[in-house]
Amino acid sequence: MKRILLSFAIAFGAVSSTYAQEPYPCHTDEKTVEYIESLSPQERAQHIADQAQYDLEIQNFVANNPQLLTPSNGNQRAITYTIPVVFHIIHQDGPENISNEQVLNALQHMNDDYQKSNALWPNVNPAFLPIVADVEIEFKLAKLDGSGNCTNGITRTFSNTTSGASGQQRIAAVQAEHGNWPGNKYINIYVAEDINGAAGYTYRPNNGIGASMSNGIHVLHTYVGDIGTAGSNGRHTLTHEVGHWLDLPHNWGGTNNPGLASNCNDDDGIADTPNTIGWTTCNVNGESCGSLDNVENFMEYSYCSKMFTNGQKARMHAALNSSVGGRNNMHIATNLSATGVNLPDVMCKAEFGANIQEICTGGTVSFEDLSYSGASGWNWTFPGGSPSASTNENPTVTYNTPGVYSVTLSATDGTNTESETKSAFIRVLPNSVDLPVMESFDYIPSLTGSFWTVENNGGNAAFEITSSAAYTGAKSAKLANFGQNAGNFDALLSSPIDLSPITTETTLTFRYAYRKRSSSNDEWLRVFITNDCGESWVQRKTLRGNGLSSEVAGNNWTPSSESDWVTVHMTNITSQYWVDNFRFKFEFESDGGNNFYLDDINIYSGSENEEPVLALEKNTLNFKFNLFPNPAENSANVTFNLENSQNVNVSLMNMMGQTIQSNDIKAQTGDNLVMLDTESIQAGIYLVTVNIAGTQQVKRLIVK
């Protein structure tokens, strides 16, 4: 079999995607191409020369260590290499904030796979049983961080970079909060909600990133182990990515295109892995290139992985003995001492978390001890809670009085005792208010301590009250988005509202004013609602890009007239949300655009008999309305402009003339936007009618 330098080969060829599974299993090849293309011509030439020398070094190591290719005869061997590992969990308090148990589960699967102790390896195709490798590598969580401080090998970083950001942005967020974790001392594993379409990726050894935190692995939380948020497909994902990190290519060679006949002409550079087209199904008897394929190999996409070969083991050992990429520093005694992987479990830090930190009056919080290591006794204190103290490992506490409360934990292993106090850790919201809710921001001096909660996760500009602009009165809520970086998430959340008396319908209305900074800005306004005080949120309205505004202002913009404001009417506050602890939330996602303003936020019963009917004013008989998107899927938007406030009916009918929805709207002067909920409507053609005092217009709507 020919020997090729994979990194060298793919540097001059495009990588395309033919594999349809979502998410895409592995982006290591693509990321390698991106890295090489980011280098200057001089840096690229040096990289290619370094990699050529490295490939020769790998071949010589394998040739000089033939014992690595001998079968283990089914027996486990002694550990040859111990590798320190740290998991960096980047999250926004969602399911991506996986448990310690899920991390330990993933680590156990890695060790089972690399030590030939996973239960399924004896079931591989008998032709490959003689070459199933015990790779003799053990992975251990670090117990000392990059500064020599106590750690449990798991960091948690609250950051919006968990979703869709670049790998460097995730790394920067971790580094800003937890310091430096050199890539030649630890395998840094970054766990996130979304890594741009892949289940995982890493970088094979190269000198350009060896000591940096970029020398790590990125993985979706749903592919970490096989418990918690992960399913069976996640069991061997980290095994696969660590294989790449230890210089193994995919079995079909140097592109990320499994299943192509041309892959038979490529090779992974390993003698005992047959040439193959690459498999995305588990055909254990497949012969794609004239010989039996090793479909059950961890470096395939078959999702029935069970084994490495002895040839792959030899190449991984070679990587661990090369200075390229810093792998040879990982397992030496001085680094094992510096990372503390072999230290005994002693209590060195008290730590805890909670399932929720903001609750309604009478709500309960489940606390979790996260102390490390080996805690055997706990003393909790909960000011304002019931109970006010506990010696349970993971207590549950009820809070009956609105306010902001601290929590303290003192944990011990019987010899050592550590304490941790978190101030303002639990917020108990005010009691529910009754309808109607009418907020013009004129009667509160600040959002702090008011009916509203401000979320400002990135430490950037946050929602605040301003007197520089308003539709009604003299004040509004402003998000000073001008000059802010892209990728910020800021939110304004209501306190609980009692909607339980409603028997017909309800409407949420608000006004906003916004401009882009440039035509390319793609910013989002999302409106969420909850019927459990905020434990879970459902997105009910989205305005994005040109749908939010197509107008551009290059300066630090402030609305100056009523025409700058849009009134939005949300009629989809359905009956399951008519509860006594209803809340709603405005979330703005930035993309380097301009300022955003909110005003006149109201919730009222949708029956027009509950408020005086507004008189018909002049110039309403020639109104026009727009309908988008069309076709629609989950919702459709009706927009129109009025010179004066009017009662308006917006209805949806099927082609038989039957009314599917009817919404009475207290439309306001200027632009109005009414949302029609089409999520539960069967696909077909419908008619949308807008009626103002007997004058109506009709347009056709297609529902997908």
pLDDT digits (tens, 9 = 90+) for 589-609: 999 999 999 999 988 775 433
CATH 2.60.40.2550 at 613-704, yes or no: yes
> How large is the average pLDDT for residues 455-463?
84
Please answer whether residues 281 and 320 qualify as being in contact, where contact means their C-beta atoms are separated by less than 8 angstroms: no
> How large is the average pLDDT for residues 323-344?
94
Sole residue written with tokens 């006949």 = 261
End-to-end Cα spacing for the chain: 53
Looking at the chain, which residues constitute the CATH 2.60.40.2550 domain(s)?
Answer: 613-704
Give the Cα separation of 448 and 427 in Å (integer): 13
pLDDT for 297 beyond 90? yes
Within 8 A by CB and 6+ apart from 666, the residues are 507, 509, 604, 608, 611, 614, 645, 647, 648
Give the Cα separation of 338 and 470 in Å (integer): 59
Give the Cα separation of 634 and 437 in Å (integer): 27
For residues 170-185, b (16+ Cβ closer than 10 Å) or e, as one string? bbebbbeebeebbbbb
Within 8 A by CB and 6+ apart from 73, the residues are none
Residue 161: other Cβ atoms inside 10 A: 25
Residue 646's pLDDT is what? 79
Give the Cα separation of 185 and 85 in Å (integer): 9
> How large is the average pLDDT for residues 462-473?
93
Q: Quick one: which of 76, 80, 147, 88 has its CA closest to 113?
A: 76
pLDDT digits (tens, 9 = 90+) for 522-581: 999 999 999 999 989 999 999 999 999 999 999 999 999 989 999 999 988 989 999 999
| Residues in a beta bridge with 493 | 453, 585
DSSP secondary structure code for residue 307 in this structure = B
Mean pLDDT in the chain?
A: 88
Looking at the chain, which residues constitute the CATH 3.40.390.10 domain(s)?
Answer: 6-41+55-69+77-339
| CATH code for the structural domain at 6-41+55-69+77-339 | 3.40.390.10
Please answer whether residues 402 and 345 qualify as being in contact, where contact means their C-beta atoms are separated by less than 8 angstroms: no
Residue 1's pLDDT is what? 33
pLDDT for 13 beyond 50? no
- SS3 of 338, please? helix
Give the Cα separation of 45 and 666 in Å (integer): 68
Amino acid at 266: D
Give how far Cα 299 sits from Cα of 15, 182, 279, 409, Å: 18, 26, 10, 45
Most confident of 56-70, 86-100, 384-398, 494-508: 384-398
The pTM is what?
0.74
Domain covering 431-611: architecture:
Sandwich (2.60)
Top CATH class, 354-428:
mainly beta
Residue 622's pLDDT is what? 55
Residue 578: other Cβ atoms inside 10 A: 18
CB-side neighbour CA atoms (13 Å) of 572 = 21
- Within 208-351, residue ranges assigned H as helices are 237-245, 310-320, 327-330, 333-339
Q: Parallel, antiparallel, or unpaired: how do β-strands 497-498 and 684-692 relate?
A: unpaired
pLDDT for 312 beyond 70? yes
Give how far Cα 655 sits from Cα of 450, 483, 652, 685, 686, Å: 48, 49, 10, 7, 6
Interaxial angle between packed helices 100-114 and 237-245, expressed in degrees from 0 to 180 and rounded to the nearest 10: 60
> How large is the average pLDDT for residues 406-413?
97
Within 8 A by CB and 6+ apart from 224, the residues are 87, 98, 102, 103, 106, 191, 230, 234, 237, 238
- SS3 of 600, please? strand
Give the Cα separation of 223 and 229 in Å (integer): 8
> How large is the average pLDDT for residues 255-269?
86
pLDDT bucket at 170, cuts 50 / 70 / 90 = very high
Looking at the chain, which residues constitute the CATH 2.60.120.200 domain(s)?
Answer: 431-611
